[in-house]
Amino acid sequence: MAQVTFVHPGGSRSDVTVPDGVSLMEAAIDAGIDEILAECGGNATCATCHIYLTEGCANRVPPMTPLEDDMLEGTVAPRRPTSRLSCQLVGGPAVDGLVVELPEDQW
């Protein structure tokens, strides 16, 4: 079980519990976070679950796969060095306490 804070574009924050083995994308949707669209259902083929890791968080999570890296080239909001797909980050100790920012647009 992990706690992850999603920061909305306007600055408000949503604290979300992410069960072990559940993706940040799934937990965000279950929590009603509208900025995560997840059109492909978590298969890393749509890039509509784009998030930005905040300072200090980027080095804590597992590295991205080549597929995730490719998909991040197609995000609507500009890619940053800390961009990730939330469907590819899974609940567990590595994500506990993460603070992530939601982009303005996913589509």
Q: Which of 4, 85, 100, 102 binds ligand FES (CB under 6 A)?
A: 85
Q: How many CB atoms lie within 10 A of CB 54?
A: 14
Q: In this structure, what token pair is assigned to residue 19?
A: 């069960």
89 counts as binding ligand FES under rule CB under 6 A: no
Specify the stretch interacting with ligand FES by CB under 6 A; choose among 14-22, 26-34, 38-46, 96-104: 38-46
Residues in region 51-80 near ligand FES by CB under 6 A: 71
Q: How far is CA 33 from CA 12, 65, 103, in A?
A: 12, 25, 12
Stretch that binds ligand FES, among 10-18, 43-51, 54-62, 91-99 (CB under 6 A): 43-51
Backbone angles phi, psi at 5, to 5 degrees: -100, 125
